[in-house]
Amino acid sequence: MAAPVIEDLRRQLREKFPQAHAASLMTPAGKTDAGQSFDPAFFPPGAISEALGSGLSLLIAGLLGEPEEVAPLPDFILVDGGDQFDPASFTPEACSRLVWVRCGTAMEMLKTTDLLVRDANIPFVLLDTCGISRRELSGIPASAWWRLKLAAGASSCRLVVMSPVAQVPCAAVRVSLNGKLGMEDFAVPRRDLVARLRMVSERMKRAN
């Protein structure tokens, strides 16, 4: 049974963003033995969502899952702000589900995301800002996030920002992901760590 906070978050999502039909952050991962993977439909289209916390690396793993076959088309684009994604830790089948865009600076990251979000053919962009220094992140003006919000609204793109700290003022959904990982978890299979991931609502609002 889902925790009360998750049930409350689902209820709020259904009320505020019925088009996202966000019944759950987790969904069965097809007919494989992969257990569960994250459902991108949890995050509303045409808006910015923000994910915070210690379980952010597992969010990517949960989105990719452990498929048995190569995907004919990618499911989402990962804008890797600090060039930290390690494709070697995933199977080729899993990596076929994303397009990996490597960036080295906050400016490069923002310009890349802006171009992608404005493309009406791209439904889901995951922006990982965790590899960018706190100094660079603090230098991003609020207007940059509002421009991305407007662009996402125009293209109906689902934009999810992974952040070490809350930084997106126009986030429609903000959640904290906590994997509660310790040194003893290095030998634990990743699918088990993903299953342990917990979500807490930080703030939800309409970003108008």
Whether 23 shows a pLDDT value over 80: the answer reads no
Angle between helices 142-155 and 106-118 (to 10 degrees): 20
Q: What is the pLDDT of residue 27?
A: 43
Let me know if domain 4-204 sits in CATH 3.40.50.261.
no
Whether 34 contacts 66, CB under 8 Å: yes
C-alpha to C-alpha distance for 163 and 120, rounded to whole angstroms:
24
For residue 153 the two structure tokens come to 């609204």
Whether 76 contacts 50, CB under 8 Å: no
pTM for the model: 0.76
Q: What is the pLDDT of residue 42?
A: 74
C-alpha to C-alpha distance for 40 and 55, rounded to whole angstroms:
16
pLDDT digits (tens, 9 = 90+) for 135-194: 999 999 999 999 999 999 999 999 999 998 899 999 998 988 776 665 555 565 666 666
